[in-house]
Chains A and B, each alone.
Chain A
Amino acid sequence: MAVAARKTSGGGRTDRGAAAETAVDPAVSEVPANNPPPFTEAEDLSAYHEMLLIRRFEEKAGQLYGMGLIGGFCHLYIGQEAVVVGMQMAANEGDEVITGYRDHGHMLACGMDPRGVMAELTGRRGGYSKGKGGSMHMFSKEKAFYGGHGIVGAQVSLGTGLGLANWYREDGKVALVYFGDGAANQGQVYESFNMAELWKLPVVYIIENNKYAMGTSVNRASAQTDFSKRGVSFNIPGEQVDGMDVRAVREAGQRAIDFARSGKGPYILEMQTYRYRGHSMSDPAKYRTKDEVAKMREERDPIEMVRKRLLESHKVGEDELKKIDAKVREIVNDSAEFASHDPEPDPAELWTDILVEVRA
């Protein structure tokens, strides 16, 4: 009965599955018209190194997952490297970073030890969380990285609290709160926007629009796909940024961070980016065409863009880039080697870190 009723009354609706049939989603290939100032050679070299480290690290993590050394859920950041690297170039030391579960790139960009991150992925003693957190849950107060959270959108209210603590302590720091286009549809995001603007908290909300909320494209999941407008009714300024161009990210990031640090309140940056891999390692990403991914890799790859600039504009030699490549591979291989041989956690760890005073 219920099924029949839905069929007859549903004539006015658009077919919600239709967008999935489109070969290349038009929203995917749109690029915001940012025109950022050029990087110096040193800046491009630094960005190249940082982004390459994330990419190679993630590729290695993918391999270790395939070998069964990494279990659980493992979300790779490949394709999105320019976002966190550009933002970190704009941030001050001590500005806090918090994100969801696609967090490896953020941790590396915050300067966390690749060995400690990889060893957490393999669940070893030397991992940042001593093997108790895994891919989605790491933390480093020293590097101002506040996790690593597995519930979609929850880091937005927590991150607002980081800004609240900055405001409370008047320490001049800004909280950088990362979440995706999928998390942008969670309710607590808007509670957070309201509170942050009401109290003029020093928070930059960075919406990493990688075009897919798990397996659902932005057009099929979001009524308003311009995420920079999501703060309009709270009077929070926002802008769309070419998140594949590290220069555009750094420039917009600087503007947003300066705004927040000066006491004017929060700022929203929608980073138009793209993830090359599936949502997690267990996702074959059949909801999009191979052409769409190939086109993005070919035309918009954040690392290739910098590499090209280094070779053509800065006249950096291939040899020098090869040296960077080799150095990055060495760091990544070392982390994998460490993470493969570091001992597994002692069973006694099971009972530590639950409460200050542990009582069975």
Chain B
Amino acid sequence: MTSFADQPLEEQIAQWRAYLRRRQGVDGPDVEELEGHLRDELAALTQAGLAGDEAFLVAIKRMGSLDALSREFALAHSEGLWKQLVIGPGADEPAKTSHTETLVVLGLAIAAALAIKAPALFGLRIGPDEELPPFYLRNASLFVLPLLAAYFVWKRGAEVASGLWLALPFAAGAVFANVFPFRTGGDTEALTVLHLPIALWLVVGIAYVRGRWFAGDGRMNFVRFSGELVIYYALIALGGGIFTGFTVIMFEAIDVNAKWFAAGWLLPCGATGAVIIGSWLVEAKQSVIENMAPVLTRLFTPLFTVLLLAFLATMAWTGSPINVQREVLIGFDLLLVLVVGLVLYAASARDPQAPPGFFDGLQLLLVVSALVVDGVALAAIAARISEFGFTPNRVAALGENLILLVNLAWSAWLYARFLRHRGSFADLERWQIAYLPVYALWAALVVVMFPPVFGYR
């Protein structure tokens, strides 16, 4: 270290360092790097004949204003857009006035609530004693996601023309969800119910990043947004459940049956409106409960790693093969989805410049053990696939398994390279976000192709 015999100068450097550390957006290694620069500069200046304190003043001046500096750092770092809000003025987007925003959000939430009630006018009722018409399940995402996309188009100040382009996939979704003559309760209908929201979520993502899917950090921010929305939605659902319970119980006390209201209005309208309200909360409060999803990731990554390792060890010890039941493939799909989620959210919260640490090793262990478990399961299933035949469910599950397997295998490779200092963490992050459309495209394929291919059964 270029340290100085000049004691006051060292003290000044220490003060400057402490001051810099308190800044937002500048973290440990950044401070070290900047301090190295300052020391090089000081060494050059003192060599040129300046006294210690003179040199310090000049070097500090050359370094530039710390306010501007920390803002630049925050922008350059991973959570760029995320933190701009906290940093306040200087962010280049003029914030929409919150009053207007509240009105827009309330309007959209009410629109969503009305949308879900509109089919009731045509005889498709939701009530406590009636079975839910499959129409609602097939179209669930279409009641609310277009409005959510509209909110982002408005919020990001995108042009109306580009917003109209986004309407196309929603219209296509509506067509494919409703034109096929599904057999009631058939597999292909269930597949459409599950896959259409995934396909359309990508469209919401495109609205979220203002149409510029490939530019900058937008996609990762959308991943963060999705995770936070799930958490907010779960919280709102919890509150909503309690509210519904009270509604029913209180009216029961005066012998009025409020179940028709709870099941017919409160639940469907609340469930759709909450998506809009939840999204708005995530957008508005992202600095307050920032990164809840990554916290959960940190908590559950070790637990799931232990679970998978214990499972593998037990299987190796007892030698009992996987009992290939009908739906076992879907179970392993869900496992892979979970592991991909853990990797994705760990990546979304990580500083890509930080050196590999213990947690990264743990992530690699998690991914590798998930790959092994899935490999064992796939081998067991492949051995018996002829026995089962190809049903739409199984083809869909196999396809998803393959897609997730490819993602995890490459992630494991990138993790291993990163841990051995052969690659950067940014590679892994890029791979994960580049892979996002694959899920949506596969989901779209299932919605569009599977029903006709499998005869709507």
Say whether A and B bind each other: no
Which residues on A are within 8 Å of B, measured CB to CB?
none
